[in-house]
Chain A
């Protein structure tokens, strides 16, 4: 069974860049890596998705090394409203299923 791990929590100050890493050692060849943000009492909200190297959109960047066994979500210049739990999501195709595995989640707290 694939295991996907993240740091439990991180603190940052407003305006700083935050990097959150996810380890996904058993990622399959065809699987993509997706990151979500979740606020209390809400469903996960899509942030960014990538397959390899670097992807950037208007809110974040995603760095994926060549071996794809990890990925790093980068949030530039965080604000108080970025306080949330962040999850990576990868497929579990090596086990022959359509299953997806969420990371353990990183609770980000942004301080003023």
Chain B
């Protein structure tokens, strides 16, 4: 079946612009994660959804970052007033049941470049 998809794959924004990044998880997956991966670094946790509930947003770096998953499937990560330090790859992952034994399946990521 289809894996996790993300769009756009590449996004260039001018500093101060707002951006919205979309994640389509694997159908039926309960859990959805967002990660940020800076160049040459490992991914870092941003936020976690179980169905439509955002249960953990402890990794969001500032109040300019906002994520939603209103119907428990597609999720959007929004970054307001982008800054150069927001330049990174944003990865989305989904897992079936929201349990510790679940495997997270990752999308290809969206590479955001803020000029």
Contact = CB atoms under 8 A, between A and B. Distances in A.
A and B, one complex? Answer: yes
A43 B91 contact: yes
B108 interface: yes
Interface of B: 4, 33, 35, 41-45, 48, 50, 55-56, 58-59, 91, 93, 100-101, 103-109, 111
Contacts of B105: 46
B108 A103 contact: no
A13 interface: no
Interface string A92-110: 1100011111111100000
Contact of B45 (A49, A101, A103, A105): A101
Given A32-B100, A34-B103, A89-B104, A102 B44 contact: yes
10 contacts: A30-B100, A32-B100, A34-B104, A42-B108, A43-B108, A43-B109, A99-B45, A99-B59, A102-B35, A102-B43
**Which bracket fits the contact residues of A?**
20 to 34
B30 to A, nearest CB: 12
Given A43-B109, A87-B42, A98 B104 contact: no
A99 B105 CA distance: 16
A59 B109 CA distance: 24
